[in-house]
Amino acid sequence: MLKDITLGQYFPVKSFMHALDPRMKLLLTLLYVVALFLVSDFWGFLVAAFLIGLVASFSKISLKVVFRGLKPLVFIIMFTAFFNVLYGGGEPLFPQIEWLSWIKTDGVKNAAFMIIRIILLILGTSYLTYTTSPVMLTDALERLMRPLKIFRFPVHELAMMMTIALRFIPTLIDETDKIINAQKARGADFETGNIIRRAKALIPILIPLLVSAFHRAEELADAMECRCYHGGAGRTRYKIYSLGWRDWVALGAMVLSFAAIIMLRIY
């Protein structure tokens, strides 16, 4: 049952977007997010939407799938949009109708922009995780953040922690399922009762899980030491990334769109 939860989903298919260097993808996503916040009119959003359309068609993952991922967020988006309208200024949108006078033009415009912006933001970042495996993502993060080492920022340690966390997610999910089944077999009841009862029922799951996680961590530490792990100093990497023609094409498209958005903002 827990397997249905997919964290930062990744769809392993072969496509132009999948073949991009993860460092480049990360950089492009960053540029895209910045661009979204620079957009101040409808035309700018059109450019961003066009970009997303391009990404969708070059990734073999249809927009439909990605939109489905938006569903759980609809409520939050609507909620923030409502408050945008409530506190927006400008002229009333429907001057003839008395009880709708709180809906003002600027408020509606702000709300609409905000909705579009959030949706485009989620779509863009979703395509990053959909087309890049979590390990590649942490790898890229480590490599891009390398300059921060000068400021004593623990780049390697952070990346190693993320790698190990990702590696153990399936293992711990399996284990949780096993514990749940074992407790059910002993008559534990997770499905009835009020919230407090149900929360209490979780304790016999969490405690064995925690104990086992600590045990695993101890063994893992020994195994890593046996394989000569001694921190990030002097490490070489097995996987090497190199930028290919695809990366430059993608960067070109991104830079053009970015320039267009800035032009639209100025004029």
Is 3 a residue that touches other proteins (CB under 8 A)? no
SS3 92: strand
Is 236 a residue that touches other proteins (CB under 8 A)? yes
Q: Which of 95, 150, 227, 267 binds other proteins (CB under 8 A)?
A: 227
SS3 8: coil
Q: Which of 147, 240, 242, 245 binds other proteins (CB under 8 A)?
A: 240
Span of 22-30, 119-127, 131-139, 145-153 interacting with other proteins by CB under 8 A: 131-139
Is 234 a residue that touches other proteins (CB under 8 A)? yes
Q: CA–CA separation, 194 vs 200, rounded Å?
A: 10
Residue 192 beta carbon to other proteins: minimum distance, rounded to whole angstroms: 33
Q: CA–CA separation, 19 vs 13, rounded Å?
A: 10
Matching residue, tokens 């620079």: 38
Is 156 a residue that touches other proteins (CB under 8 A)? no
Q: Which of 53, 90, 154, 170 binds other proteins (CB under 8 A)?
A: 170
Looking at the DSSP bridge assignments, the partners of residue 208 are none
Is 239 a residue that touches other proteins (CB under 8 A)? yes
Residue 93 or 136 having the CB closest to other proteins: 136
Residue 145 beta carbon to other proteins: minimum distance, rounded to whole angstroms: 18
Is 164 a residue that touches other proteins (CB under 8 A)? yes
Residue 64 or 230 having the CB closest to other proteins: 230
68 CB neighbour count, 10 Å cutoff: 10
Question: What does each C-alpha distance from 112 to 64, 70, 140, 173 come to in angstroms?
Answer: 21, 16, 34, 40
Size, binding site for other proteins by CB under 8 A: 28
Which segments of the chain does DSSP mark as H helices, in order? 16-19, 22-38, 42-57, 63-70, 74-86, 105-131, 134-144, 155-185, 195-226, 245-266
Note the residues at the interface with other proteins (CB under 8 A): 133-135, 163-164, 166-167, 170-171, 216, 219-220, 222-230, 234-240
